[in-house]
Amino acid sequence: MEKQKNTPLENRELNAAESLALINRMIETTRNRMESKAGWPFLIWGYLTVAFTLAFYAAFAWTHDVRWAWLWFGLPLCGWLGMTLALRKHPAEGSVRTIIDRVIGQIWLVLGIAAFVLTCTCITTSLRIPIFFLIVLLMGIGCALTGLVCRFTPSTVGGFVCIALAPLFLIVRDNAANAALFIVAFTAMMIIPGHILCYRSNRQAKQHHV
């Protein structure tokens, strides 16, 4: 069966070979589907984290007041708002949810909760928690898993780069160096893969329209 993708399907009966070809084509189309905004969550969280890191360190360097750490609570709020607004679908746009979507969602839910609990503990108590080490390690694990599950190499590489970078936060004590390292980590695991993903999905969308 050599029907083009957009040829309307009807109610006619098929022969065995046509049926198998149709099954194969429908499964492949859905499997190769790439959301038009697939790279946006990476970019939203990546750029927001860089912005909050710069804001926190600038404020801390200027005032030497640790209470600026409360600023970090704005990050999940802005991230949630950004995700809600940016990924809102038009009612006329079709949507599909795969098992991989659910797995990725659950991975980030668990890691997000863990990161939030660690941040709360670090800011609201006097416990000395190596927060940057733990956050970069957790987020690195999340990106590596995402990349492996989705077979998206830039995210896998970025994740493992962060896992490798994380112990440096236990060694480096300088605030500016920590901030720079934190920005490098989020650039490697979120900003670069996010731009690559956006480029790929735009290219696929263009090919689809040709």
Partner 1 sequence: MFKELNPLLHSELRLAVMSILIGVESADFVYLREQTGATAGNLSVQLDKLAKAGYIGIEKGFRGKMPRTVCRITEVGRDAFAEYVDALKSYIK
**Residues lying near partner 1 in the complex (CB under 8 A):** 5-20, 22-23, 25-27, 29-31, 89, 91-99, 101-102
Length of the chain: 210
What is the closest distance, in whole angstroms, from the C-beta atom of residue 162 to partner 1 in the complex? 29
| Shorter beta-carbon distance to partner 1: residue 10 or 174 | 10
Query: In one letter, which amino acid is 21?
Result: A
Nearest to partner 1 of 7, 125 (CB atom): 7
Smallest separation (angstroms) from partner 1 to the CB of 194: 24
For the CB of residue 209, give the shortest distance to partner 1 in the complex, in Å: 13
Amino acid at 191: I
- Give 136's contacts (C-beta < 8 A, 6+ positions apart): 162, 165, 166, 169, 182, 185
Q: Which is nearer to partner 1, 11 or 125 (CB)?
A: 11
Smallest separation (angstroms) from partner 1 to the CB of 85? 13
CA torsion through residues 130, 55, 39, 83, sign: positive
- In angstroms, the CA 138 to CA 114 distance is 8
Tokens of 202: 């735009």
Please tell me whether residue 173 adopts helix, strand or coil conformation.
coil
**C-beta of 150 vs 172, nearer to partner 1:** 150
Which CB sits closer to partner 1, 9 or 127? Answer: 9
Q: How far is the CB of 82 from partner 1 (least distance, A)?
A: 18
* Distance in angstroms (rounded) separating the CA atoms of residues 93 and 132: 39
Residue among 92 and 171 whose Cβ is closer to partner 1? 92
CB of 92 to partner 1, least distance (A): 7
